[in-house]
Amino acid sequence: MYLERFTCQICFESLPLEWKFQNADLCTHPFCLSCISMHIKIYFRSSAGTGTISCPGIECKHALGPFSCRLLVTREQFVKWCDLMCRSALSGIDSCYCPFPNCSALVLNECRDDKLKKTNCPYCSRTFCFECEVPWHAGYRCSDSGNLKDRNDILVGELIERKRWTRFYHCDHSVERVSGCGSINCICGVRFCYLCGGPMHFGDRRTPNIEHYENFVSNSQLVATICLSLLICVPILVLLGVI
C-alpha cells in the first residue's frame, strides 16, 4: 500500500504526510513537525521577542500561530508565547496586571482615564491601584504605598478614605474639615486647599491657578451676589408687608 509522502524544505527528509505541519491554513509550506518544533525552541532561546514567530519559509510574510503549534511546545512555552503576543497587541493600550499572586489577570483601562488609580479586578474582584500596581493603599499616595508596615497603617488609611479627609502634601498631615470654606490653615503653618491638598496662592496674582481656584472664586462671587440681593430685596419686602 502506497502512503503519500512529502519532502520537508528544512531537513529535506521524505516523510509521511501526517508529519507535515499545518499553519492554520495561513501558508502551506512543506515543513515537518520536528523542524518547526526546533524553529520555535530556537526563538525562545535566543530572543525575548514580541511573540511573533515568523514562518521559516523564504519570503513568507505569515507568522506561526501558538494554537497551530500547541502540541509542539511545552505548556510553559505556550503560556509565554500567548503572553508575549498579548503584551505586543496591547502595547499602545493602558493596561496592567492584577498584583495579587493567585490572580495576575490582565486589566485594561477601558475608561482611558490618565488618573485612574482605584480599580476592581474584573476577575478576582479585589481592589488595587492601577497606577503603582499594588493592593489598594487606602488613604495613602502611591509614593507612600511601600512604607505601609502593618495592619494598623492599613486601618488608618481606610479611615482617612472613609472619612474623606485630605492629606496635605507639604507635611503629610490628615485634616478633617467640619465646616467653612476650602482654605485650610495646617498645623505646619501653610495654607492649603482642602479639595485638592495643594497650596493656596491668593496673595500672588501670578500663580493663583491651583485646581480648584476658579471654582473657589466663582462660588465666592455667587455667595456675594446672593447676599447683595438679599440686602436690597428684604427691606423692600418688609415695607410691602410681604415678610
Q: What is the structure's pLDDT at 234?
A: 46
- Co-location of 11 and 84 in the same domain: yes
**pTM of the predicted model, to two decimals?**
0.45
| Burial (Cβ within 10 Å: 0-12, 13-18, ≥19) of residue 49 | middle
pLDDT at 14 over 70: yes
Minimum mean pLDDT range among 38-47, 120-129, 194-203: 194-203
Quick check: is 69 in a domain? yes
Which of 43, 66, 89 is the endpoint of a domain? Answer: 89
Return the top range by mean pLDDT from 3-7, 90-94, 137-141: 3-7
Give me the CATH number covering residue 64: 3.30.40.10
Return the SS3 of 191. strand
Are both 104 and 81 inside the same structural domain?
no
User: Tens digit of pLDDT for each residue in 19-34?
Assistant: 999 887 788 889 999 9
How is 208-242 classified by DSSP, letter by letter?
Answer: ---TTHHHHHHHHHHHHHHHHHHHHHHHHHHHTT-
Section 134-147 average pLDDT: 72
The proportion of the chain whose per-residue pLDDT surpasses 90, expressed as a percent, equals 8
User: What is the total count of domains within the chain?
Assistant: 3
Q: 99-129: b or e for each residue (b if 16 or more CB lie within 10 Å)?
A: beeeeeeebeeeeeeeeeeebebeeeeeebb
The mean pLDDT value for 94-120 works out to 80
Share of the chain above pLDDT 70, in %: 59
Residue 216 pLDDT > 80: no
Is residue 124 a contact partner of residue 100, using CB atoms and an 8 Å limit? Answer: yes
Q: Confidence band (pLDDT; 50, 70, 90) for 10?
A: very high
